[in-house]
């Protein structure tokens, strides 16, 4: 789709947009299923990048404590707990600019191997990757790689100056070439324009293949970061963004990501109606709080949703 076409969708009257997105969702996916994904921050804080939203950037004083890399055993224990709580995907995040070929990376490879053995979809988000590194992760059993575009190409340098939009695209290319599935989305509420949101969806949906998953995050404004005073995005903007993403990428798993803690059950229900079919569960995202698993299970019960099984789209597993 062109930017003009995506703009037309984005600007539809909200109820029309939700109805259209719900229709696309029902025609393409099992709409009663929602993927439950859990996050583990395997290496927290102290990052050299200047991402204006991020609590883990070393240069901002956000109060996030720097933690050395977790032990493989600790990660496996948390992964097992997440699986028992209904998660089918586990995403391991590191506050790195890029992966380096060192002992830390060897340990990530061990973690991937161990979590893969639990029969969960293993995902990593470690910053920029070379093709070689992506291949090593794939060989260890990695299923997905998360690498967000975060905003439009035009807005990128207003948010991050320590790397470029093209660097991001290059990593996505390396990930795809290594036969990993791609998870890439962004954040709303950074002070971007609607054209920036549309531009980001335009880039994602015009990649050689749609990302298998697209996380949509609402900015969690963090004290100490340049974006600390950003106003919270309204739920209507979140619904509009999710609905447009659903229509533009009909079969992609659209994740209602950061920002759920501030949303009521009814507001989240609208997001599911509009095509969201994945969440992060567990009481912590990477460094910020998230709804409790008990509340989320109750939400699934009330809305008649069921957790999606791992490897749903794999013909043989």
**Cβ at position 165, least distance to ligand SAM in Å:** 13
Catalytic residue among 89, 163, 183, 308: 183
CA distance 21 to 276: 10
Scanning 32-40, 52-60, 187-195, 265-273 for contacts with ligand SF4 by CB under 6 A, the matching segment is 52-60
Identify any residues that bridge with 284 across adjacent strands, giving them in sequence order: 289
- Selected from 7, 37, 38, 56, the binder of ligand SF4 by CB under 6 A is 56
Start-to-end Cα distance in the chain? 33
If one asks whether residue 226 binds ligand SAM (CB under 6 A), the answer comes out as no
**Cβ at position 57, least distance to ligand SAM in Å:** 9
271 is catalytic: no
If one asks whether residue 257 binds ligand DTB (CB under 6 A), the answer comes out as yes
Buried b (16+ CB within 10 A) or exposed e, 66-89: eeebbebeebbebbeebbebbbbb
Scanning 46-54, 109-117, 213-221, 276-284 for contacts with ligand SF4 by CB under 6 A, the matching segment is 46-54
91 is catalytic: yes
Instruction: Classify the C-alpha dihedral 126-129-132-138 as positive or negative.
Output: positive
The widest CA-to-CA distance across the chain, in whole angstroms, is 53
* 29 vs 252 by CB, closer to ligand SAM: 252
Catalytic residue among 91, 124, 246, 260: 91
Contact 93, 42 (CB under 8 A): yes
* 93 vs 127 by CB, closer to ligand DTB: 93
* 186 vs 211 by CB, closer to ligand SF4: 186
- Selected from 21, 82, 95, 99, the binder of ligand SAM by CB under 6 A is 95
* 22 vs 204 by CB, closer to ligand DTB: 204
C-alpha count within 13 angstroms, C-beta hemisphere, residue 88:
14
* 89 vs 147 by CB, closer to ligand SAM: 147
If one asks whether residue 203 binds ligand SAM (CB under 6 A), the answer comes out as no
* 97 vs 138 by CB, closer to ligand SF4: 97
Q: Where are the alpha helices (DSSP H) in the chain?
A: 3-10, 14-28, 72-84, 103-116, 131-140, 156-159, 165-177, 194-205, 235-248, 265-273, 293-303
**Cβ at position 183, least distance to ligand DTB in Å:** 7
Scanning 4-12, 74-82, 285-293, 298-306 for contacts with ligand DTB by CB under 6 A, the matching segment is 285-293
**Chosen from ligand DTB, ligand SAM, ligand SF4, none, partner binding at 287 (C-beta under 5 to 8 Å by type):** ligand DTB
Catalytic residue among 163, 176, 246, 255: 255
Q: Tokens standing for 34?
A: 């929602």
CA distances from 285 to 90, 110, 229, 253, 258 (A): 12, 22, 21, 19, 7
Residues 6+ apart with CB under 8 A from 230: 189, 190, 191, 219, 221
CA distance 222 to 225: 6
123 is catalytic: yes
Q: What is the DSSP letter of 231?
A: P
Active-site residues: which are they?
Answer: 47, 51, 54, 91, 123, 183, 255
Chain residues binding ligand SAM by CB under 6 A are: 53-56, 93, 95-96, 125, 127, 147-148, 150, 187, 217, 219-220, 222, 258, 286
């Amino acid at each position: 789709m062109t930017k003009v076409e995506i703009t037309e969708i984005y600007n539809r009257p909200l109820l029309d947009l939700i109805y259209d997105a719900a229709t696309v969702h029902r025609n393409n996916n099992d709409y009663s299923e929602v993927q439950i994904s859990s996050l583990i921050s395997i290496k927290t804080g102290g990052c050299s990048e200047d991402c204006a939203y991020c609590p883990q950037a070393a240069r901002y004083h956000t109060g996030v404590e720097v933690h050395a890399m977790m032990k493989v055993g600790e990660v496996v224990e948390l992964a097992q707990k997440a699986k028992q709580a209904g998660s089918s995907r586990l995403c391991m995040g590191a506050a790195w600019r890029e992966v380096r070929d060192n002992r830390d990376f060897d340990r990530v490879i061990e973690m991937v191997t161990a979590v893969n053995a639990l029969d969960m979809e293993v995902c990593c988000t470690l910053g920029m990757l070379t093709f070689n590194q992506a291949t090593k992760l794939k060989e260890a059993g990695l299923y997905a790689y998360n690498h967000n575009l975060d905003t439009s190409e035009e807005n990128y340098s207003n948010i991050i100056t320590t790397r470029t939009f093209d660097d991001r695209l290059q990593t996505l290319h390396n990930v795809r070439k290594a036969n990993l599935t791609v998870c890439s989305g962004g954040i709303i509420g950074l002070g971007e324009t609607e054209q920036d949101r549309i531009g980001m969806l335009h880039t994602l949906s015009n990649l050689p293949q749609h990302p298998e998953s697209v996380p949509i995050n609402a900015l969690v404004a963090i004290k100490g970061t340049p974006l600390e005073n950003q106003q919270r995005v309204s739920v209507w903007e979140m619904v509009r963004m999710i609905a447009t993403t659903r229509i533009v990428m009909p079969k992609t798993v659209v994740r209602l990501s950061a920002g759920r803690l501030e949303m009521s059950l009814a507001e989240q229900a609208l997001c599911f109606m509009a095509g969201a079919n994945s969440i992060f569960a567990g009481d912590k995202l990477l460094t910020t709080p998230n709804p409790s698993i008990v509340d989320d299970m109750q939400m699934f019960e009330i809305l008649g949703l069921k957790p999606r099984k791992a490897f749903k789209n794999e013909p043989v597993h």
